[in-house]
Structure 1
Amino acid sequence: WPAGWRRRRRTRACLLLAWAGAALGPSRPHTWRPQGQGARWLRRRVLRPPAPPYGHVCQVGDPTLRARAAPVEPARVRGAEVQALIRALVRAMRRHGCVALSAPQVGVPLRVFVAEYPERLCAELPARERQARQVAPFPLRVFVNPAMRVLDARLVSFPEGCQSVSGFSACVARYQAVQVSGLDADGEPTTWQASGWAARIIQHEMDHLEGVLYIDKMESRTFLNLRWAELNE
């Protein structure tokens, strides 16, 4: 860093905060909504940053994604905090158009994940691709404190992506069939036996709960930016 950067940074911060105070004014303290990157920095200082569970999906580099998630006390599953987490996960999953999401991905280091593959998303895939990848729709499923058992140890490799490594994909070898057991949103025992793409989704989310990302298991030469062709135009 160049000499004097700390002093310049403090001066700039003071000026910006002074401007923020003027912008807020005495009569409209809650209506100020600055725009842009500098304004985002300012909002975080003045209005405080958001708290987990986030509405956005945490990106690689966030320490929460690399920590082993803690189990949830069964008696707390029906409590307000865990129920709010489950709702936040479902909202974020649907908002971002993904088919599963784990609690660490919204900044909460607990062993919870949700998954849902609606028919409309399946219909977006060509029939040949759906058949090759064994993609089939399934309803919303919620797992708290999930445990996984391998049912078919054959390894199948296909490209997969992750909302926490946004804009990229790579081939990953996954077991053909697995069983996951845990508690549902009501705190009741639940079990799901899945094969094909659903089994891949389960394994991907179970990895998240261990602080593992698909890039740790990928075939590195298949790693690609999904927009590479667009960027060359």
Structure 2
Amino acid sequence: MEEIKMKCIIVDDEPMLRQHIAEMTEQIDFLDLVETFPSALAATSRLQQGDIDLIFLDINMPYLNGIDFLDSLENPPLCIFITAYSEYALEGFRLQAVDYLLKPIIFQRFYQASTKAYQLFVQRNKPLQESSPNDNMLFVRQGDAFVKISWTDILYAESMQNYTKLHFKERTITIHQTMLALEEALPGNHFFRIHKSYLVNVNHIDIITGGRVYIQEQELPISRTKREELLQNVVFKKLLSR
């Protein structure tokens, strides 16, 4: 089966960086670079044609920055931000960007971010009949019984040594399984271990700020070692679930 390619464009006001990114796209088989642009305004008419799948978008540009530009698009393509400042990751989360690349951009990170985008692109374009309602079901142990639940409804799991408490929107249940056993049973592209005591469903995250995650107004701590990984990967996982 022939590999489907993603049509992409590059929007950056630095000519040498545009060239550098263009050369990297040539090394990746699933990327089809259509055009490069020196500004967001210059790219507007091309995006209006509606056939672009991915945009590599610089944030700091004159007249109209990348964040405001992406926010203004009615049906934006997948986006990978380019920036010199890591604090823009939170803004990228709000706009559901796939990833963000810090300057200077190395090929390893570029390939990693592009692969995330491609996996999401393929997932979005799968025929609807490939998914099954049973894919969302999971059996968990309560006492001597096994109860069927939908893991999509889990907001987060809380470790209680040999037990785990599952928090849902309108109820909480305690299951006779360790956090590790539960984590192995759940799909890794939807759940993220933010702390030794908390495993969260990334589809239900409302806010990430400082060392905290908010889900349904519940404040949960992020361990220091997990925060950067969460910022870099949670957007992709959140998008993939849709």
Scaled to the shorter chain, the TM-score interval is under 0.3
TM-score, normalising length from structure 2? 0.23
More helix by proportion, 1 or 2?
1
More strand by proportion, 1 or 2?
2
> Looking at both structures, which has the greater relative contact order when contacts are Cα pairs under 8 Å and sequence separation is at least 6?
1
Q: In terms of Rg, which structure is larger? A: 1
TM-score, normalising length from structure 1? 0.24
